[in-house]
Amino acid sequence: MKYLEYKGISLYDKEAMEFERLSVKPEYEIFPGIYLKPCNLSDLTKAIDLEKLGAFDYAVPQSWAEANGHPRGLDQAVWLYRKDRSSIFGGPFTVRQMLEGLRSQIKTEAVQFWFEQKAMEIER
């Protein structure tokens, strides 16, 4: 049974999820056999440092929510006003997109850590 705290969120292996009596949902599988423990939207936005992309609001426009059936789960969104776009209106940034960002961020940090460890071994 293994788990990892990463920037305020928890990543569990399948055994730890079952031990905690949490449902193992394939859509929340970050990497093979590693799952995101249920957390709130605020923790997820902090973990991926969403502010790097721009300002955001947890309240989405009512018209967008109604047109999209008041999304939940992976389709739940925050309203993101990106720094790199000229539009002032913003747009949805879903939990699904946040999980992709989380996967990418963890991969980058893991490779950097691995490289630093290997580089130290070569210098010895």
Token code pair at residue 2: 């293994």
Tens of pLDDT, residue by residue over 66-119, are 999 999 999 999 999 998 876 678 999 999 999 999 999 999 999 998 888 877
Quote the pLDDT of residue 19.
94
Q: What is the full DSSP assignment across 82-106?
A: ETT-S-SS-EEEEHHHHHHHHHHHH
pTM score, whole prediction:
0.85
Taking the domains of the chain in order of start, what are their residue ranges? 1-39, 41-124
CA–CA separation, 106 vs 82, rounded Å?
22
CA–CA separation, 44 vs 62, rounded Å?
22
Token code pair at residue 26: 């394939």
Tens of pLDDT, residue by residue over 6-38, are 999 999 999 999 999 999 999 999 999 999 999
Quote the pLDDT of residue 121.
64
